């Protein structure tokens, strides 16, 4: 930032941290006017925190989205911005190498290839939220009210001109990731159920498959009965068929339930997050679209320096 000719402001999001992150953010914002802070009232999750940052950023040209663990190199901003000047609205990073354990590498690679194969939008492989987006892309993201957010999918759905830049992702600088297996699973579910028709269609395919199996079994039974005069025997086969069909029905209910659950949370109309406090160094427009304004038209818990 000190050597760049660009006018850069940094928006830091505190997603309900339990350590001294909030204090360090305050100290940084109070000593350097380029830094602004948004403190959420509790932990809302990674994707919601990114959405809060996109809503708070007031950059006139482009937004550079980056996690705070320094696994993604901020030095790529120059290269990203060059592509932006060439006319690209989205410049995303493609991880050609990850310095993580083998299980995570296999899991991530498998997920990206799965969602690319079943999604109705063109999802680039091995990409995360690390990207540079134009102001108009950011404005569209702010207008998308979905509660179960998968920003990299939303970014692909928006369209415009997009390009990827390969890089090697470093190991985490310090501390341990708070992204548990359940959080990763929830993120993967949001990507699959929000940007693919495959889960709901697979129910129909499973239903047709089980009907086909039942018809074949019926024909076999009739042939044995009327051609070979043999009454089919076998409690084991009957038990297997009952368990199989019951399992298919439970899977179908679970898949439908994932869609119903998302409809349920979306229909509540709650704000995506609640802001506890804001530190900023110049007058800006109130953050709108993600939580309701107060009685005087200002956003809740807003403080300005």
pTM comes to: 0.69
C-alpha 50/C-alpha 69 separation (Å) is 14
Residues sharing a CB contact under 8 Å with residue 47, sequence separation 6 or more, in sequence order: 129, 149, 150, 151, 187, 190
C-alpha 88/C-alpha 91 separation (Å) is 7
Give residue for tokens 């207008």.
143
* Cβ atoms 155, 117 nearer than 8 A: no
- 27-66 pLDDT, tens digit per residue, is 888 888 888 888 988 888 888 888 888 888 876 788 998 8
Paired tokens of 208: 């047709």
- 274-305 pLDDT, tens digit per residue, is 888 888 765 444 444 343 333 333 333 333 22
- 77-119 pLDDT, tens digit per residue, is 888 888 888 888 888 888 876 666 667 777 777 777 777 777 7
Alpha carbon distances (Å) from 116 to 111, 125, 155, 183, 279: 8, 7, 14, 20, 39
By C-alpha distance, which of 85, 69, 84 is closest to 21? 69
């Amino acid at each position: 930032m000190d050597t760049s000719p660009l006018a850069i402001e940094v928006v830091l999001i505190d997603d309900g941290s339990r350590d001294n992150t909030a204090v360090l953010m305050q100290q940084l914002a109070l000593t350097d006017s380029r830094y602004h802070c948004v403190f959420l009232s509790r932990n809302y999750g990674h994707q919601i925190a990114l959405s809060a940052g996109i809503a708070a950023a007031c950059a006139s040209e482009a937004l550079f989205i980056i996690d705070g663990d320094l696994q993604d190199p901020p030095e790529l901003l120059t290269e990203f911005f060059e592509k932006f000047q060439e006319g690209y609205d989205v410049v995303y990073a493609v991880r050609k190498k990850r310095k993580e354990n083998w299980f995570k590498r296999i899991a991530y690679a498998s997920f990206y290839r799965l969602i690319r194969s079943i999604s109705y939008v063109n999802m680039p492989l091995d990409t995360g939220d690390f990207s540079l987006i134009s102001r108009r892309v950011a404005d569209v993201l702010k207008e998308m009210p979905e509660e179960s957010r998968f920003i990299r999918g939303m970014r692909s759905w928006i369209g415009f001109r997009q390009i990827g830049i390969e890089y090697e992702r470093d190991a985490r600088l310090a501390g341990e990731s708070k992204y548990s297996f359940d959080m990763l699973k929830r993120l993967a579910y949001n990507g699959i159920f929000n940007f693919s028709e495959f889960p709901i269609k697979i129910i129909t395919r499973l239903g047709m498959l089980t009907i086909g199996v039942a018809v074949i079994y019926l024909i076999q039974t009739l042939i044995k009965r009327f051609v070979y005069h043999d009454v089919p025997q076998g409690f084991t086969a009957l038990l297997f068929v009952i368990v199989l069909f019951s399992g298919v029905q439970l899977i179908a209910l679970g898949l439908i339930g994932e869609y119903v659950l998302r409809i349920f949370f979306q229909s509540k109309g709650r704000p995506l997050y609640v802001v506890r406090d804001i530190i900023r160094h110049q007058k800006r427009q109130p953050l709108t679209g993600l939580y309701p304004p107060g009685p005087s038209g200002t956003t809740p818990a807003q403080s300005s320096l």
